[in-house]
Amino acid sequence: MTSQLTRELFDEVMVPNYRPQQVIPVKGEGSRIWDQNCKEYIDFAGGIAVNSLGHCHPELVEALKKQSEQLWHLSNVYTNEPALRLAKRLTEATFADKVFFANSGAEANEAAFKLARKFGHDHHGDSKHEIISFTQSFHGRTLFTVAVGGQPKYLDGFHPAPGGITHLPYNDLAALEAAISDKTCAVVLEPIQGEGGVRPADIEFLRGVRALCDKNNALMVFDEVQSGVGRSGHLYAYMAYGITPDILTTAKSLGGGFPVGAMLTTAHIAESFGFGTHGSTYGGNPLACSVADKVIEIINTPEVLAGVSQKHERFRNQLNKINDQYGIFAEVRGMGLLIGAELIPEWHGRGGEVIAKAMQHGVMCLIAGPNVLRFAPSLIIPEEDIDEGMNRLGAAIAELTS
Ligand SMILES: *Cc1c(COP(=O)(O)O)cnc(C)c1O
């Protein structure tokens, strides 16, 4: 059967919304992956910032196995022990008092945006429904989340979209000051824009957003789907900035590869999601929550979080070294293990070509838009894998520049 499971089959039987790489990975261990032909790759992509503890981490395998022999699913007609345990852990580790579980980042954001509307409605009336978001932001692919996201091309052909949403330039406090009003129910942002090119927020900007939200009774919503769960070198990026949101969403790294998402908020705001207002059949699934609980337990330690910052330096040094040799990056930026290397103007549009060539040389990397290489590896990637992966990336770039 395996011999018939080819990349060509993808084009035959899959909806063409994705265009995956040519090889098909079949096995992973730590930060290494093997394809159908047993070729080995270093994984700097981490399943798009998802495989926070690499592939098949023994403690996650154990947590999943154990729960899989206990109880798989109940629905929210009943609660379950893994969900309660994870909710307790998340509330103890963050500003939040309350948790809503979902299965993906988009669903966590859908819940956050609906809650912000509902809270505005409950406390200030129907006119308080406007959402302010930022260009280049990404919040998911449901119709509401794509409408809040700041990349209009993702809405092409899907109109009419939900209304009452304004997009402003990111890191531009004056623009927000001019646009925010008593009709604003929420200001939504990624503290580090991921898909939009790995752009961290300026601290003055976040401080200003917090103050303007307070002044206008608007909720500050942080989408930490990509930046959360240790990726920034802190459990959540808001902790790195020291600026606390009213609602936070988390997914990707939270499950380490098992689909799960969560929305965190305060007890007061959570009251607007009263009985029957919102829901999800799978949200809080015991399998997902068992794995996520283990993920947080492992990551939320001083050793692992400090390791993320050390590995950041190693990535940055290696990227700078490549750049000294080939001069193709205009800037290397990011936080923790969410790192972007922006290509120089002469190389604009060639990000996809670089990561395809890198695959040929045995290293998996990502792009964030056509001009930025993105690295979102396991938070516990060994140093030798960083060095080896960077050698391979260097070789790929050497071939492209020769
Ligand atoms: C990936 C991502 C999402 C969407 O998550 P899905 O699990 O794909 O629905 C939302 N927000 C941010 C910041 C993301 O990076």
CATH of the domain at 52: 3.90.1150.10
Pair 37, 89 in one domain:
no
**What is the C-alpha to C-alpha distance for residues 379 and 53, in angstroms, rounded to an integer?**
6
Pair 288, 315 in one domain:
no
Pair 13, 157 in one domain:
no
Q: Is residue 383 part of a domain?
A: yes
Please work out whether the CB of residue 139 comes within 6 Å of at least one atom of ligand 1: yes
Q: How far is the CA of 83 from the centre of ligand 1 (A)?
A: 21
Range of the domain at 345: 2-56+302-401
Pair 134, 265 in one domain:
yes
- C-alpha distance across the termini of the chain, in Å: 40
Q: At 210, which CATH number?
A: 3.40.640.10
Check residue 350 and report its DSSP letter. Answer: -
Pair 211, 100 in one domain:
yes
Q: Is residue 64 part of a domain?
A: no
By most ligand atoms within 8 Å of CB, the mutation choice from 110, 195, 227 for ligand 1 is 195
* Residue ending a domain, choose from 253, 272, 299: 299
| Closest residue by Cα to residue 374 from 395, 399, 343, 346 | 343
Peptide bond into 191 cis (omega under 30): no
Pair 325, 256 in one domain:
no
Q: Is residue 178 part of a domain?
A: yes
Longest pairwise C-alpha distance within the chain: 63
**What is the C-alpha to C-alpha distance for residues 94 and 111, in angstroms, rounded to an integer?**
18
Pair 168, 21 in one domain:
no
Pair 309, 341 in one domain:
yes
Pair 257, 313 in one domain:
no
Q: How many domains is the chain partitioned into structurally?
A: 2
Contact indicator for 362, 392 with CB cutoff of 8 Å: yes
Distances (CA, A) of 286 to 57, 74, 107, 250, 279: 19, 8, 18, 17, 16
Q: How far is the CA of 329 from the centre of ligand 1 (A)?
A: 26
pLDDT tens across the length of the chain (402 residues):
556 999 999 999 999 999 999 999 999 999 999 999 999 999 999 999 999 999 999 999 999 999 999 999 999 999 999 999 999 999 999 999 999 999 999 999 999 999 999 999 999 999 999 999 999 999 999 999 999 999 999 999 999 999 999 999 999 999 999 999 999 999 999 999 999 999 999 999 999 999 999 999 999 999 999 999 999 999 999 999 999 999 999 999 999 999 999 999 999 999 999 999 999 999 999 999 999 999 999 999 999 999 999 999 999 999 999 999 999 999 999 999 999 999 999 999 999 999 999 999 999 999 999 999 999 999 999 999 999 999 999 999 999 998
Pair 290, 279 in one domain:
yes
- Atom 15 of ligand 1, nearest CA residue: 226
Tell me the Cα Rg of the chain. Answer: 21
Residue partners of 340: CB distance under 8 A and separation at least 6:
197, 198, 199, 331, 332, 333, 334, 368, 372, 373, 374, 375
Pair 308, 198 in one domain:
no
**What is the C-alpha to C-alpha distance for residues 145 and 154, in angstroms, rounded to an integer?**
10
Pair 111, 245 in one domain:
yes
